[in-house]
Amino acid sequence: MKIKLVDLSANYHSIKDEIDMAMAEVIENTAFVMGPYVEEFESKWATYCGVENAIGVASGTDAVRLAVNGLGIGPGDEVITVSNTFIATAEAVSANGATPVFVDVDRDTFCLDAARIESALTKWTKAVLCVHLYGHPCDMDEIMRIASVNNLFVIEDCAQSHGALYKGRQTGSIGDVGCFSMFPAKILGAFGDAGAIVTNRNDVADRIRLQRNHGRTSKYNSIVEGGNARLDALQAGILAVKLKHLDKWISSRRALAARYHENLAGVVETPIERQWATHPYYMYVIRTPKRDTLLTHLQSRHIECGIHYPIPLHLQQAYSRMNLRSGSLPVTEQAANEILSIPLFPEMNIETQDKVIASILEFF
Ligand SMILES: *Cc1c(COP(=O)(O)O)cnc(C)c1O
């Protein structure tokens, strides 16, 4: 039998009754667009993250795009970010007419290397957009310190870091704005596209609320042009149910990660968790120079794996205009050749995990 990287069906079936009831309620009330279910989820997500404002949006892509926009970043501005991420991170900058500037990452955590921010600064730099990759928080004190010295905004891409803690604080609550994706496979995933933005800055929250819904203050009164990036109410109802289980699911992810560590350390490089971090393990990413042959071996054993991400953004055709050659971000590029995401999801049982472990040990 095939072992999946992430088993969304197992997750649904573990809470099927609650989910089905919540969906039926939204449908019975025909409260499909904005309204009480969206507001309820926003309020619960703000509380969970420990922030003043949560704004539901249609996707993680919209979350990052509207966060950049909400800070007034636009044409002529530069935003420092990373290349080892999903393309939505960089697209959010370009979509606002600004320019993403890629810097290299920390070899151990795969997160933006704060020590490289200053050499990437120009007079056009407006913000640092960091990604808590795989769920491991970035070194936020250092990023915030450099940002404050240089008068930069800090945007956190939290698409992979629901429930991750940096020195006890939720990711997303530290910078100016935090952006979450609730894409189905994410740590807190909807049954379709969904996302949320969190911020303590009320001015930014107000701008984002207008932008996600046609600049409207009432049904037919728009004070600015915006668009439609609303969180679907059915997804909000589902997310409110799933949020009740989130901490339990994260504990389960961490317990599975601990078992992987115990069994795989010394055979492959296992993920680092800095002493100030609580890592929710969106992905459990091992590292080995034999990555490609290990991947083929695991596939032959019907174990699904992933590479997050195989081609760094600066080497993608979409960014060929930047003229960044291979070798320009050496830490990022080497990681892309050596990383492998192996199955981990809250409902994974020990027997299944043992098969993954045994197949890896067998290979080595
Ligand atoms: C998933 C993801 C996004 C985009 O989220 P969508 O909900 O798929 O639009 C953005 N950034 C990162 C790092 C992601 O992993």
pLDDT digits (tens, 9 = 90+) for 99-134: 999 999 999 999 999 999 999 999 999 999 999 999
**Residue 127 and residue 80 in contact, taking contact as beta carbons nearer than 8 Å:** yes
Centre of ligand 1 from the C-alpha of residue 68, in Å: 15
Q: Write out the H or E segment, with its range, that includes residue 73.
A: none
Q: What percent of the chain has pLDDT over 90?
A: 100
Of 160, 179, 188, which is best to mutate to test ligand 1, by the most ligand atoms within 8 angstroms of its C-beta?
160
φ/ψ of 228, rounded to 5, equals -115, 105
What are the pocket residues of ligand 1 if the criterion is a CB atom closer than 6 Å to any ligand atom?
A: 59-61, 64, 85-86, 88-89, 131, 157, 159-160, 181, 183, 193, 195
Half-sphere exposure (Cβ direction) of 132: Cα atoms closer than 13 Å = 39
Dig out the tokens for 30 from the structure. Answer: 């025909």
- Whole-number Å distance between alpha carbons of 124 and 97: 13
When the pLDDT of each residue in the chain is averaged and rounded to a whole number, the result is 98
Nearest ligand 1 atom, CA 182: 7
pLDDT recorded at residue 340:
98
Number of Cβ atoms within 10 Å of the Cβ of 170: 22
Of 64, 131, 181, 230, which is best to mutate to test ligand 1, by the most ligand atoms within 8 angstroms of its C-beta?
181
Residue 63 has pLDDT above 90, yes or no: yes
pLDDT recorded at residue 1:
85
Q: Write out the H or E segment, with its range, that includes residue 164.
A: none
Flag whether the pTM goes above 0.85.
Answer: yes
φ/ψ of 80, rounded to 5, equals -80, 125
Q: What is the mean pLDDT of residues 261-278?
A: 98
Dump pLDDT digits (tens) for 180-227.
999 999 999 999 999 999 999 999 999 999 999 999 999 999 999 999
- Whole-number Å distance between alpha carbons of 197 and 61: 11
- Whole-number Å distance between alpha carbons of 65 and 228: 13
Nearest ligand 1 atom, CA 193: 7
Half-sphere exposure (Cβ direction) of 184: Cα atoms closer than 13 Å = 9
Dump pLDDT digits (tens) for 232-257.
999 999 999 999 999 999 999 999 99
State the pLDDT confidence band at 270, using cuts at 50, 70 and 90: very high
Output the CA torsion sign for 194, 284, 260, 357.
positive
- Greatest CA separation found in the chain? 65
**Protein residue with least CA distance to atom 14, ligand 1:** 159
Of 86, 111, 161, which is best to mutate to test ligand 1, by the most ligand atoms within 8 angstroms of its C-beta?
86
The CA distances from residue 219 to 212, 230, 244, in Å, are: 14, 14, 32
Dig out the tokens for 60 from the structure. Answer: 């993680």
